[in-house]
Structure 1
Amino acid sequence: MTNSPKPFEPHESGALLHGTKADLEVGDLLVPGHRMNYDAGRNANHVYVTETLDAATWGAEMAVGEGRGRIYLVEPTGPVEDDPNVTDKRLPGNPTRSYRTREPVRIVGEITDWVGHSPEQIQAMRDTLADLARRGLDVIYD
């Protein structure tokens, strides 16, 4: 793979994806109750997944912690619902195909040949997130 992911385009595998910096193995479970990828001071009540490589790439790139970003193919063990953090007002209709679940999600594979966003795109996203935090608008509906 040589190109950055395209927004709103489902991954060719048809699988659900999870981007993070956690070093996991096939068969491991992601479970709610652990530190959030984006806010090390909060525990997540859900596990977040997506059908698009672009959204998973942002997850891998924006996750807090050390190490490289990773993108896992995952299978939920229970029902999933639209992620209200991106589907309510920001992107109606869920074009990012982002979901969440209160049930464990099993790692079934890893995408290792993904290409990230440009340094300029990453910095712009970090600047936007920092601005939202400064204005108290970095709300996560979890």
Structure 2
Amino acid sequence: MGEIVPHPPKPFEPHESGAYLHGTKADLEVGDLLVPGRTSNYQEDRVMNHVYVTKTLDAAVWGAEMAKGEGRCRIYVVEPEGAVEDDPNVTDKKLPGNPTMSYRTRQPVRIVGELTDWVGHTDEQLHAMRDGLADLKRRGLDVIYD
């Protein structure tokens, strides 16, 4: 039998596990907690009031690829320890209806596993995303509703 090769993540497609995912460059272990009150992965000197999770591999991969730091991109399987709500940065501002299945919580989120059989976005996609984010920053529109 041939080897099964992971396919690139598809926008708006829930991960086959149905689990919540969190993308980052942080080197974490099963059992560790992600908690609010940490510095943002995306804006210097900003403390975040929420932990952000998603049910799509695509959004988790973007989270890992855009996170600050030099570590390798990681996708963790997580379990929120409290209620989650739609992420207004995506659902209210960009994609009504939450097709990215992006959420946030003010409660801790426990790492229960790590996905290792995924592939990232293409160089072209990464370049376009970084250019778009840089343009928002230049125009003062890189707002995070936290």
Q: Same fold (TM over 0.5)?
A: yes
In the alignment of these two chains, the number of paired residues is 142
Equivalent of residue 12 in structure 1, options 8, 16, 20: 16
* Residue equivalent to 1:83: 87
Percent identity between the two aligned chains: 79
Give unmatched runs, 5+ long, in structure 2. none
Supply the AA of the counterpart residue of 1:35: T
* Residue equivalent to 1:64: 68
The alpha carbon displacement at 1:38 in A equals 1.1
Structure whose CA Rg is larger = 2
Find out whether 1:34 has 2:38 as its counterpart.
yes
Give 1:1-142 correspondences, 5 Å limit: 1-142=5-146
Supply the AA of the counterpart residue of 2:136: L
Question: Aligned equivalents of 2:44 and 2:93: distance in 1?
Answer: 25
Question: Aligned equivalents of 1:40 and 1:65: distance in 2?
Answer: 12
The alpha carbon displacement at 1:43 in A equals 1.1
The alpha carbon displacement at 1:2 in A equals 2.7
The alpha carbon displacement at 1:41 in A equals 1.8
TM-score by length of 1: 0.98
CA deviations on 1:68-113 (whole Å, 9 max, x unpaired) are: 1100000000000000000003000000000000000000000011
CA RMSD of aligned residues (A): 0.7
The alpha carbon displacement at 1:61 in A equals 0.3
Give unmatched runs, 5+ long, in structure 1. none
- 1:40 touches 1:64 (CA, 8 Å); kept in 2? no
Q: List, as ranges, runs of 4+ consecutive aligned residues in structure 1 with deviation greater than 4 Å.
A: none
TM-score by length of 2: 0.95
Question: Aligned equivalents of 1:103 and 1:86: distance in 2?
Answer: 20
The alpha carbon displacement at 1:36 in A equals 0.9
Question: Aligned equivalents of 1:76 and 1:9: distance in 2?
Answer: 20
